[in-house]
Amino acid sequence: MNKYHFDLQPFEPGLIDIKISGKISRNTNNLSLGYKLEGELEKIEIPAIENIPNRKNELWEATCFEFFLGIKNSSRYWEFNLSPSGHWNIYRFDDYRQGMEEEIAVTSLPFSVQHDSDNLLLNLEMDLGKLISEKQSLEVGITTVIQDKNRNITYWALTHCGKEADFHLRDSFVVEL
């Protein structure tokens, strides 16, 4: 099993005092990912949990936990969007920002969200079998978009490799699973 603990860094310092940390692991083809958002949560726009979450587009325009999975030595990768509301989406790319399509091989992406005044926890457990084989190595980028109550957006990642915040840059897929 590969296991990695992380702390995300903002692309630019924000006006809100928050911390985003978590852990990711892979056991054969089972992926486990957990985020912890803590700090001044009252200053963050956090969508309410929906009774019936489903696939939605453009979740990255508001507070959204994201991660990117790339196959090692391949240009193909996936973008996963997980809203605190429970809505989700997965996009497949052939190369850097090329050939974007919804990944229809995955028809649901159940994850749990716990939110109280002190922190927000988001946990995902998924079988990667519909996307990759157990033998394929992955390169992972872990990211988050935070929207504050004034509609300002900040971009958080393990590392920022470009002159602008760009989660799609493969150089930022620094976790190997």
CATH number at residue 65: 2.60.40.1190
For 146, the 3-state DSSP assignment is strand
State residue 16's pLDDT score: 86
pLDDT of residue 38: 97
Res 14: pLDDT? 74
Mean pLDDT of each 10-residue bin along the chain, 177 residues long: 92 88 96 97 94 95 97 96 98 96 94 92 97 94 96 95 93 95
Q: Residue 152 and residue 154: Cα distance in Å, rounded?
A: 7
Inter-residue contact 158 to 141 (CB < 8 Å): yes
Q: Would you say the pTM of this structure is higher than 0.85?
A: yes
Count of the separate structural domains present in the chain: 1
What does the alpha-carbon distance between residue 20 and residue 6 come to, in Å, rounded to a whole number? Answer: 8
- Which amino acid, one-letter code, is at 20? I
Domain holding 92, by residue range, is 2-176
What token pair was written down for 162?
A: 């470009």
pLDDT at 13: 81
In sequence order, the 6+-apart residues with CB closer than 8 A to the CB of 148 are 14, 15, 16, 43, 44, 45, 154
